[in-house]
Amino acid sequence: MAAQEFDLIGIGNAIVDVIARADDDFLAREKIAKGGMSLIDEARTLSLYEAMGPGTIVSGGSAANTIVGAATLGVKAAFIGKVKTDEVGHAFTHDLRATGVHFSTPAAHNGPSTARCMILVTPDGERTMNTYLGACQNLSEADVDAALISASKVTYLEGYLWDPPAAKKAFVKAADIAHNANRVVALTLSDAFCVGRYRDEFLDLIRKKTVDIVFANEHELKALYETSDFEAAADALRNENILGVVTRSAEGSMVITREETLAVPAFPIAKLVDTTGAGDLFAAGFLAGLTRDKDYHTCARLGALAAAEVIQHYGARPEADLLAMARENGLL
């Protein structure tokens, strides 16, 4: 495989999303904590599906959403994730490849079914996720394609995938391959509850320079440093001496390095519909700029543009032509 054949490769959960509207009373009845991501088993997945209202079914997964968003912005992208040879797995594979993303991870023939995420969106646009990891949990070091990693400028790792033990080894293997090929490794913290489970391990990845870039929202960052003070958390990240990219919803984002801190505004929107995928698409835009050697301010503006598009409709993947929008705004 030729050097630098890909700009970006993601490693994450291969999940099909089922998105439905719900009110706070429904969350309370089902004993679901609003705004986070909970892991559930297959039986709970089926019972929740029965209880939910009409749903929209679309391929998802945090890192996969980022990779698709980046591909929409003209990035040559690839993805590593585990599905099963079932109907849901075939749908995920078809949807991903249809966007132009290279996806060649062998599907499992046995074991748990392809993962699903039941996403409940309340009237305020907040999304609450209930995830059955299924086949995702069986991603292993054997699925890490060394040639693909070596051929990609940036390897993007999904924090959610830190839950299954075998995937942790896959992460470290991928990071080692990337660094041995003089490539860059990025990590998204994914979710404040995820950070709560693995805070020390995520800090270890940062401090051992297993990763070079960290994406987080302000809640995840505060969870990482166990503080309610955002400025204190930002200072702590600055002292790690890596590239930190922090989203702050309507307040925009911050790009933090030891040398500088950039505050970049959010793009205006007509109406907030569904926050699902906002962070994923922000990362997509940022990385689309980074792989083109744009300055950090431009990268963050690209991220803001992509995030603004996705939160104005249901689902975590772009519906508009992001590349055309980026060009219209002078960002690419």
Per-residue confidence (pLDDT) for residue 82, from 0 to 100: 96
What's the average model confidence in pLDDT over 237-249? 97
What mean pLDDT, rounded, does the chain reach? 94
CA 206 to centroid of chain Cα atoms: 18
Q: How far apart are CA 307 and CA 181, in angstroms?
A: 31
Per-residue confidence (pLDDT) for residue 330, from 0 to 100: 97
Q: Mind listing the pLDDT tens digit for each residue in 84-107? A: 999 899 999 999 999 999 999 999
What's the average model confidence in pLDDT over 47-56? 90
Per-residue confidence (pLDDT) for residue 159, from 0 to 100: 94
- pLDDT for 2 beyond 50: no
Q: Mind listing the pLDDT tens digit for each residue in 257-298? A: 999 999 999 999 999 998 889 999 999 999 999 999 999 999
What are the tokens at 234? 């930002």
Integer angstrom CA distances of residue 329 from 238, 268, 271, 296:
30, 13, 20, 16
- pLDDT for 114 beyond 90: yes
| pTM, rounded to two decimals | 0.91
Q: Mind listing the pLDDT tens digit for each residue in 169-223? A: 999 999 999 999 999 999 999 989 899 999 999 999 999 999 999 999 999 999 9
Q: Mind listing the pLDDT tens digit for each residue in 26-39? A: 999 999 999 988 98
> Of 92, 84, 87, which is closest to residue 16 (Cα–Cα)?
92
**What band does 1 get if pLDDT is binned at 50, 70 and 90?**
very low
**With the C-alpha atoms ordered 164, 60, 194, 25, is the resulting torsion angle positive or negative?**
negative
What's the average model confidence in pLDDT over 159-174? 90
> Of 72, 221, 238, 79, which is closest to residue 152 (Cα–Cα)?
79
Q: How far apart are CA 83 and CA 13, in angstroms?
A: 9
Per-residue confidence (pLDDT) for residue 4, from 0 to 100: 54
Q: How far apart are CA 203 and CA 126, in angstroms?
A: 28
Q: How far apart are CA 13 and CA 158, in angstroms?
A: 8
What are the tokens at 287? 């990385």
Q: Which domains are seen in the chain, by residue range?
A: 6-328 (3.40.1190.20)
